[in-house]
Amino acid sequence: MKNLVVYSSKTGNTKKLAEAIYNYIPGEKEIYEIDKSPDPNDYTFVALGFHIEGGMPDPKSQEYMKKFNEDHELFLFFTHAADPESKEVKDAILEAKKLVKKARLVGLFNCLGEVPEKVVEEARKKEPVPEWVKNVDSAKGHPNEEDIKKMLKYLDSLDLPW
């Protein structure tokens, strides 16, 4: 059984989670940035990480999500600066689930991710100001060790093939 971790990360937040998952997974495994990712059909288990853009999984991740079929066990994970209970996060989860509906989704994890100040400054200039900007202070320092431990504990609770 081959395992794959694929991630899309602008700021390094999702990459941090991807590396933790990669180190957690036993056996034969590979990790790739989404731009260099292989066809998921060569793998039994895939962990796919993304970030939110405009209340949706980022565009590259959306395209990759369309490649999955019923033979895949898929774990999705993502980072964001929005309030975890916000419409933006809930919409991103719904959209991701729609895009991977052919796969066997075994779990989904999300957590806060710090946004670079330059990105926050640009967002504050927009009309209207994006909702996630209100939560940006809460996202500072995330994902942290506690977030990673929570994600790995969640992975432990799933009935995964290894």
SS (H, E, C) the chain: CCEEEEECCCCCHHHHHHHHHHHHCCCCEEEEEHHHCCCHHHCCEEEEEEEEECCEECHHHHHHHCCCCCCCEEEEEEEECCCCCCHHHHHHHHHHHHHCCCCEEEEEEEEECCCCHHHHHHHHCCCCCCHHHHHHHHHCCCCCHHHHHHHHHHHHHCCCCC
Q: What is the pLDDT of residues 99-140, one digit of tens each?
A: 999 999 999 999 999 999 999 999 999 999 999 999 999 999
Q: How confident is the model at residue 161 (pLDDT cuts 50, 70, 90)?
A: confident
Q: What is the pLDDT of residues 36-49, one digit of tens each?
A: 999 999 998 999 99
Give the domains, in start order, of the chain with CATH numbers: 3-156 (3.40.50.360)
Share of the chain above pLDDT 90, in %: 91
pLDDT at site 1: 77
pLDDT at site 147: 98
The model's pTM is 0.94
